[in-house]
Amino acid sequence: MHIHILGICGTFMGGVAALARAAGHRVTGCDRNVYPPMSNQLKDLGIDIHEGVDAGQLDINPDCVVVGNVMSRGVDVVEAMLNNDCRYMSGPHWLADNVLHDRHVIAVAGTHGKTTTASMLAWILQDVGLEPGFLIGGIPANFGASARFGKSPFFVVEADEYDTAFFDKRAKFVHYRPRTLILNNLEFDHADIYKDMDAIHWQFHQLLRMVPGDGLIIANGHDENIKKLIEMGCWTPVQTFSTDDDTDWLARFGDKVERHIGMRSPSGAAAETHWNMGGTYNLENALAAVAAAVSVGVEFERAVAALSRFQGVKRRMERTATVANIAIYDDFAHHPTAIEKTISSMRHRYPGHRVVVAMEPRSNTMKLGVHNDALANSLKQADLIWMYRPKDMGEGFDASLEPLGAKLSVHKDYDHLVNDMSKKVLSGDQVIFMSNGGFGSARQTLTAILQRTRGG
């Protein structure tokens, strides 16, 4: 079958493309924005990508068009698809029908940490020999791909609450019907889709309705929004996790050294290991992943030990270069909570070093001004901040950043931002580029300038 995917370079749709290719289908696709790492992953799989959303691309007459949620009415290829009576479906629908229907689905949901937790879980299952399938909104370094069909009954999926498609406004995750569900945390996000926290609770409540009674929900025991969610109705056993003593699963750093971690299971069993990650939020992610792995039969000690071999996720605090003792990182953080935790973790790991941040606010929630009150506070621990200002930022954005004072520099041009950074970063700086998009290749450009001017 020939499948043509609209919006193929998104992390989710790119994963769908990889799964369809692995299943033996001919796969092509299109997107407005084609950039690494997803474009490289698709190219390596032999998938042809058409840059643009013009109607003519459907002249190839695919058997089925799979539609990403970045597509909307009025887009040329969408109108041609409808006018020509093409067979079409959403990405989550295709995934459910063709991959998940006979698998033990382990879904990872919540506002933050989904990609890292799902990557850790997939790696634990792989490390013990279970060869799981997975679809993750990022590229785990251990696998080098965001999706894999797998050879076992287990399938790990990052369960996103964003809407499914222009013709299906339900959350993506309602299609997945998980047997095991991780709930990392819950905050207000996606303001372009949900009007308030109650609307988000309602969508997650639909997800809980689908988890069978003999399944398992693994929930952050200290998240008040998750507690409220479960009180709305839950028909499945729940195990809680946190870094405190009052939950079923417990994790802590060893003697305040983040590279050494210890965990305790509900039975009281304890296990320790060293790892390459950092930050309390990553420790919670790891604990949830271990709990899920144990729930499907992995030995607790082996699950914890597997974390020592976990190599991280691309674009999740990924160190991409070191030039003249200046460390450069690529990070997906775009919500104030994630921004603050990322900076805090970096300060803790590299005391005495400046933490320098370049940020591109791209999310619809950010552009609508929902996070204006929290953004400056989330950035305050950084020593210097370069902010790229898109033209379509809402009212109040500039005023919201005033508390950052002289440490903030705002630019409307990528090149101007990078040139200014290249003159002011110093040896020993930890430089973090934060964006859920391509950031105009600013990180790559800064790296090249530093290599040329400071002798990489």
Mean pLDDT, 10 residues at a time, the chain of 456 residues: 95 92 95 80 90 96 96 97 97 96 96 92 98 92 92 96 93 96 89 84 96 97 95 97 94 80 96 89 94 98 97 84 93 83 87 94 73 86 94 84 93 94 95 88 93 79
Could you tell me the CATH superfamily of domain 102-309? Mur-like, catalytic domain (3.40.1190.10)
Structure tokens at 209: 């309705």
Residues of the chain with CATH 3.90.190.20: 318-454
Residue found under tokens 């991409």? 320
Structure tokens at 143: 């696998």
Note the pLDDT of residue 254.
84
Note the pLDDT of residue 25.
96
Residues of the chain with CATH 3.40.50.720: 2-92
CA–CA dist 132, 148 (Å, integer): 8
Note the pLDDT of residue 369.
64
CA–CA dist 290, 285 (Å, integer): 9
Nearest of 450, 439, 430, 446 to residue 329 by alpha carbon: 430
Q: What is the CA radius of gyration of the chain?
A: 22
Whole-Å CA distances, 147 to 108, 129, 354: 15, 17, 36
Note the pLDDT of residue 332.
82
Note the pLDDT of residue 257.
62
**What CA dihedral angle connects 189, 192, 196 and 197, to 10 degrees?**
-30
Q: Which CATH number fits domain 2-92: 1.10.10.10, 3.50.40.10, 3.40.50.720, 3.40.50.2000?
A: 3.40.50.720
Burial class of residue 92 in the structure, from the number of CB atoms within 10 Å of its CB (0-12 exposed, 13-18 middle, 19+ buried): buried
Q: What is the 3-state secondary structure (H, E, C) of 23-50?
A: CCCEEEEEECCCCCCHHHHHHHCCCEEE
Structure tokens at 117: 């937790």
Residues of the chain with CATH 3.40.1190.10: 102-309
Could you tell me the CATH superfamily of domain 318-454? Mur ligase, C-terminal domain (3.90.190.20)
Note the pLDDT of residue 194.
80
Please list, in sequence order, all residues whose beta carbon lies within 8 angstroms of the beta carbon of residue 202, skipping any fewer than 6 positions away.
none
CA 374 to chain centroid, in Å, comes to: 21
Do 130 and 107 form a contact (C-beta atoms < 8 A)? no
